[in-house]
A and B are shown apart, each in its own frame.
Chain A
Amino acid sequence: MIEQVGRRTVAAVKAVGRFGHFVSDTARALADVGVWGPLTLLQMRRVGVDSLPVALFIAAFTGVVLALQASYTFTGTVPLYFVGTLVGKTMMLELGPVLAGLALAGRVGASMAAELGTMKVTEQVDALETLAYDPQSYLVVPRVLAGTLMFPMIVALAILTGIFTGWLASIVLLDLSTPEFVKGLKLFYRFKDTWFGLFKSATFGFTITLVGCMVGLGTRGGAEGVGLSTTRAVVYSAVLLLVLDAFWALVLLR
């Protein structure tokens, strides 16, 4: 029992060490602008544009559900224009960043882990090294930068979509007028509501892409190894995303 705990502790410490080493390698590779610069634009398109439909789809339904649940909860006790307040605040502070983040952890993190994992087991990563490329600057930096820069943009659009569908549900299904919804939306609004969600989503983007790359490049074996890495990337990203979510709430909202 004690031996097992000790072994797991050592493994965990080693994993943290590997992560730190990977992050420092990635930071060092930032100097190689000539390599990662052009590739980052390509990754921004893949991470950003290609991920947009799934993020907006989730946000659209979340907005409707939020409006209906708020109305259900408020009936008879709280003025209905608070639906706008709840939809706006919840989308900006929590559900916009977190739901989009979780969806993208599945889509972006898994696809990066699978792609880099396949490159690893087919020796394409070794080939890059023999061609005098640093895999960190060729593969990792463009993806991590793209994730960090594009996630806030995706989340911003997701928040707007959620608020829009929340408004639509309010005027169509709840007999709330547009001025009332907007009144609720403006109530208690602070600029921090906006930047908090976007900042948080940038850290989600950084984490999801970094984990996807690290797990992908650590792949061993063949197809089974790639499958394992894909699953790991999604699980680790989702867990870290929720931990980060709680961390930023503790640090920035108290």
Chain B
Amino acid sequence: MIQFQDVHKAFNGKPVLDGFTLDVQDGETMVIIGYSGSGKSVALKHVVGLLHPDAGDVIVDGRAVSTLDRSGLTELRRDIGFVFQFAALFDSMTVADNVALGLVRRDLSDEEIAERVREALALVDLTGTDDQYPAELSGGMRKRVGIARAIALRPRYILYDEPTTGLDPVTSAVMDQLMVRTREHLGVTGIVVTHDMRSAYTVGDRIAMLYEGRVRQVAPVSDIRESDDPVVRQFIEGRPA
């Protein structure tokens, strides 16, 4: 279980998270929606200790992230796969090496690593791209390699940062299918940060709207669709102010 407990974070004196509180239950996919720059990605980075809160904390399976030392953080990160907005693949490595990178740190034989890489690439429909370099792939393929890199670790949690941003509608739908399939296949708990409502409705069990640094509304997808909160309605309908 992941719990954001009254998280506050400011950059250059400007508050981004201002009392952000949210519980993500085991096995569910929580979608965090909100305007660009509203702090969705910032919240996500707190889960893996890439950012530290000014106040409050994120609790992952009872571990307060901000109190963990380096070895504690390393242990925590073994349970979490992170899919970055622009994939964050290593340019100098092949697709297979990118996917294998996190596995090398674990006590796995070369055969086990190769098998996991093969499985992960198959799950994202990228079998046969092992020897290609990121520069040779399309944006959608790069994002799928990013997912493969995360699921190869067989994590308990997967965090997706804007997984469909910058993709055409068809490729976005493929990404949505992939996230659903990943959850069904691996049974992982997920947090998806997005402002793509079609994607949010497809992959989410619950949706939380982040607004002015805190959760404006959190509810199952069907309830969010019917929400009568004016801020939520305006966002999901994409109406200008």
Contact = CB atoms under 8 A, between A and B. Distances in A.
A253 B112 CA distance: 58
B48 interface: yes
Nearest to A28: B70
A129 B77 contact: yes
Interface stretch (A131-139, A225-233, A239-247): A131-139
A124 B50 CA distance: 12
Given A131-B77, A132-B77, A132-B78, A126 B84 contact: yes
A69 interface: no
Interface residues of A, number: 11
A122 B105 contact: no
B24 interface: no
Interface string B60-88: 00000000001000100110111011101
Nearest to B90: A124
A123 B86 contact: yes
Nearest to A124: B88
B88 A122 contact: yes
A24 interface: no
A130 interface: yes
Contact of A131 (B45, B50, B101): B101
B240 to A, nearest CB: 28
A130 B48 contact: yes
Interface in A84-134: 122-124, 126-127, 129-134
Contacts of A131: 77, 101-102, 105, 149, 153
A139 to B, nearest CB: 11
A134 B90 CA distance: 15
Given A123-B85, A123-B86, A130 B78 contact: no
A127 B87 CA distance: 9
Contacts of B105: 131-133
A132 B155 CA distance: 12
A132 B74 contact: yes
A42 to B, nearest CB: 10
B86 A130 contact: no
Contacts of B45: 126
A129 B88 contact: no
Contacts of A134: 70
A126 B70 contact: no
B135 to A, nearest CB: 12
B78 A127 contact: no
A122 B102 CA distance: 18
A133 B102 CA distance: 8
B77 A127 contact: no
A129 B105 CA distance: 12
B82 to A, nearest CB: 4
A94 to B, nearest CB: 37
Contact of B102 (A123, A124, A132): A132
A130 B77 contact: yes
Given A123-B86, A124-B89, A130-B77, 18 more contacts: A123-B84, A123-B85, A124-B90, A126-B45, A126-B50, A126-B82, A126-B84, A127-B84, A127-B88, A129-B49, A129-B50, A129-B77, A130-B50, A130-B81, A131-B77, A131-B105, A132-B105, A133-B101
28 contacts: A122-B86, A122-B88, A123-B84, A123-B85, A123-B86, A123-B88, A124-B90, A126-B45, A126-B84, A127-B82, A127-B88, A127-B89, A129-B48, A129-B49, A129-B77, A130-B48, A130-B50, A130-B77, A130-B80, A130-B81, A131-B101, A131-B149, A131-B153, A132-B74, A132-B77, A132-B78, A132-B105, A133-B105
